[in-house]
A and B are shown apart, each in its own frame.
Chain A
Amino acid sequence: MDKIDQTDEPTRRTSYGQRRKDRIDALAAASIDEEPGISLIRSAWKRLRRNPIFLVGLAITVAFVVLAAIAPWIAPWDVTASPLLDKVRPQTNPVPGPEPGHLLGGDDRGRDLFSRLLVGSRQTLVVGVFATLFGLLGGLTLGTIAGALGGWVDSLVMRIVDVLLSVPSLLLAFTVASLAREPSQWTLIIAIAIVQVPIFARLLRGAMLAQRSSDHVLAARSLGVRPWAIVFRHMLPNAMGPVIVQATLSLAVAIIDAAALSFLGLGNPDQRQPEWGQMLGLAQRYISEAPHLAFYPAGCIIVVALGFTLMGESLREALDPKSRR
């Protein structure tokens, strides 16, 4: 077997699961700083402030969050109403085009497309944030247990995590989501969260193990500090760096996964409430007559996911001592 490459380029013969594991471990390893936390964050911020890539990502993210927050109040039309219904002609003109007052035209039920895109950002945000949050919580719990206790508990938890990681994430999310009797926004959130858990767990466990053998943990032990205080006061706060970076990147993945699952019809069954993935799914039918119906929600998904990724990647780069210029 070839030696596993520690860079981003996986060697040909490593398995899918192994590649994912390696990538996560490389992230965890990058967190072992030679500099202390606070100055690290400060110097990272200094570099981030001048990094145009980070600023673009930040701008997209902030714009997205603000728009999602105020969407219902700024949307020109009610998303469930069909003001353009009388323009819909199933045979000749299934999708009404743009006209004054309707910037992007309507969808096949005469609903204002622009308003639906705007309000659709809310579900995307909610699913993305909650899925990442739950994934983070689950991953933190498992990673802390494994990293703090070690031994057979660590082995058990990490084998389960490895199994979960060996399944392609979308397939896993799809399976979990389809197990739910009634699909809803929450089954979507839980399905995506379950996909995120092993990533966070492995990342945190790696960082916790590095902390465990660190000098300051030894020093704390030499002063008789109790084990729980060692874990929660001395290890966990110092192991969180890569996890926070991963959370930013995971938001992008969660948003894409949410859109994919909604597209496949596993999302919110209430089709009156807009969601980008679901809008994309409905656009399929009119892809030749009205490609813009697919283009707009897809563009939104891409831009938002790009925003989170740009931000997360530059954050990772800034915190990674190895990539410092």
Chain B
Amino acid sequence: MTQQTHRPSQFGGGSAEPLLSVRDLRVTFQRHGEEAFHAVDGVSFDVRPGQTVGLVGESGCGKSVTSLAIMGLLPDRGNHVEGTAVFDGEDLLTLSRSAMRDRRGSDIAMIFQDPLSSLNPVVTIGRQVTEVMERHQGLSRKEATPKAADLLERVGIPDPKARLANYPHQLSGGMRQRALIAMALACNPRLLIADEPTTALDVTIQAQILALLKELVVDTGTALVMITHDLGVVAGLCDEVNVLYGGKVVERGGRHGLFKNPRHPYTVGLLNSIPRLDAVRGEKLSPVPGSVADNLPWTSACAFAPRCSNAIAPCTQETPQWDGDEVVGFRCFNPMGGPR
């Protein structure tokens, strides 16, 4: 599918060997007696140190399942994971449970969408931050507490020493997300996966959190996988963008290239559905018509064809192949702007 030759990323960020290299990841959900559902259907992408990679798509496109599969956090039963996710020379998907547990929180950490429900309501913020350090760095709670205060300060929580004793409900939404980020950063992970980290926040807070994440990536060289449905987030943060549809990457590119010259009709649709300040007043937004429920199976068609304004005959008859390489490309019979 992709060429195995390595080319340095031309989109900024790091240019070293990939820190995380996901190849042909497939996640299939199947319950007894029900038809299998391919939530992730052959996704490949690389993340290099210091790079921010976006996974973009609407609900149900498989972006969150991709991240959970990489983290080994999918439910024990009812799913099947194939492919590889090589992190620092090790395939995370074949690691034992306990080895994977040792990686999580220390080498790879994750930030979730809803900061309130992602914090334990009956445990103080301080305790939740120190827990991670006690777990991975063998510190005592006493040793970890000043570090936790430093960490809260670093993620921009004012009066960190007092906040340590607070419970999650005593913090505002933005502060909670900062606390979650602090927990994720407690052991200086090399890879951070952020699953819609700003969706549950006010717009002003969103900007602050994004700025914080950007700053952390630049300061520490942490690689960031940014999962979002919001192309605005992508525009501000990501070096490379993968647009997912129906469990497959349908387009990939650097953020400038992708925004300036989108090729896949789905990417175009996503871009058109963003409200614009310079649009004519009264002009309607143009959302992507239909929903993911209309998808065709990838095995015999392009899943997006029923919703696509550019669909041609082969779209409903064959699977579109990846046209491009590890850095840029798309999966479409009739791309915008004509074939490559």
Does residue A234 face the partner (Cβ distance < 8 Å to B)? yes
Residues of A within 8 A of B110 (CB): 219, 222-223
Stretch at the interface among B29-37, B98-106, B285-293: B98-106
Closest to B71 in A: A222
Q: Is A237 within 8 A of B122, CB to CB?
A: yes
Residues of B within 8 A of A38 (CB): 121-122, 167, 169
Q: Is B104 within 8 A of A238, CB to CB?
A: no
Stretch at the interface among B131-139, B220-228, B252-260, B309-317: B131-139
A206-225 contacts to B, CB under 8 A, are 214-216, 218-225
Does residue A226 face the partner (Cβ distance < 8 Å to B)? yes
B90-124 contacts to A, CB under 8 A, are 101-106, 109-110, 112, 114, 116-123
Does residue B183 face the partner (Cβ distance < 8 Å to A)? yes
The count of residues in chain A whose C-beta lies closer than 8 Å to any C-beta of chain B is: 24
Compute how far the CA of A11 lies from the CA of B186 in the bound complex, rounded to whole angstroms: 53
Compute how far the CA of A37 lies from the CA of B119 in the bound complex, rounded to whole angstroms: 11
Compute how far the CA of A222 lies from the CA of B131 in the bound complex, rounded to whole angstroms: 13
Does residue A39 face the partner (Cβ distance < 8 Å to B)? yes
Q: How many A-B residue pairs have CB under 8 A?
A: 85
Compute how far the CA of A36 lies from the CA of B115 in the bound complex, rounded to whole angstroms: 12
Does residue A49 face the partner (Cβ distance < 8 Å to B)? no
Residues of A within 8 A of B103 (CB): 224
Does residue A103 face the partner (Cβ distance < 8 Å to B)? no
Q: Is A223 within 8 A of B117, CB to CB?
A: no
Most buried by A among B110, B118, B120, B168: B120
Known: A36-B169, A215-B112. A223 touches B184 (CB 8 A): yes
Residues of A within 8 A of B184 (CB): 222-223
**Cβ-neighbour of A219 out of B76, B119, B135, B136 (below 8 A):** B119
Residues of A within 8 A of B120 (CB): 216, 220, 233-234, 238
B64-94 contacts to A, CB under 8 A, are 71, 73, 76
Does residue B56 face the partner (Cβ distance < 8 Å to A)? no
Q: Is B122 within 8 A of A214, CB to CB?
A: no
Known: A215-B117, A216-B121. A223 touches B109 (CB 8 A): yes
Compute how far the CA of A215 lies from the CA of B112 in the bound complex, rounded to whole angstroms: 8
Residues of B within 8 A of A220 (CB): 120, 131
Q: Is B131 within 8 A of A229, CB to CB?
A: yes
Residues of A within 8 A of B169 (CB): 35-36, 38-39
**Distance from B177 Cβ to chain A, minimum over Cβ atoms (Å):** 12
Residues of A within 8 A of B148 (CB): none
Does residue B180 face the partner (Cβ distance < 8 Å to A)? yes
Closest to B129 in A: A223
Compute how far the CA of A237 lies from the CA of B124 in the bound complex, rounded to whole angstroms: 13
Q: Is A225 within 8 A of B118, CB to CB?
A: no
Compute how far the CA of A76 lies from the CA of B135 in the bound complex, rounded to whole angstroms: 61
Compute how far the CA of A232 lies from the CA of B184 in the bound complex, rounded to whole angstroms: 21
Q: Is A223 within 8 A of B104, CB to CB?
A: yes
Q: Is B112 within 8 A of A218, CB to CB?
A: yes
Residues of A within 8 A of B180 (CB): 219
Q: Is B122 within 8 A of A223, CB to CB?
A: no
Residues of A within 8 A of B123 (CB): 233-234, 237
> What would be 5 A-B contacts, judged by CB atoms less than 8 Å apart?
A36-B116, A36-B167, A223-B132, A226-B135, A238-B120
Interface residues, chain B, with chain A CB atoms under 8 Å away: 71, 73, 76, 101-106, 109-110, 112, 114, 116-123, 131-132, 135-136, 167-169, 180, 183-184, 186
Known: A36-B121, A219-B112, A222-B112. 14 other contacts (CB 8 A): A36-B122, A37-B121, A38-B121, A38-B169, A40-B121, A219-B110, A220-B131, A222-B73, A223-B104, A224-B105, A224-B106, A224-B136, A225-B135, A238-B121
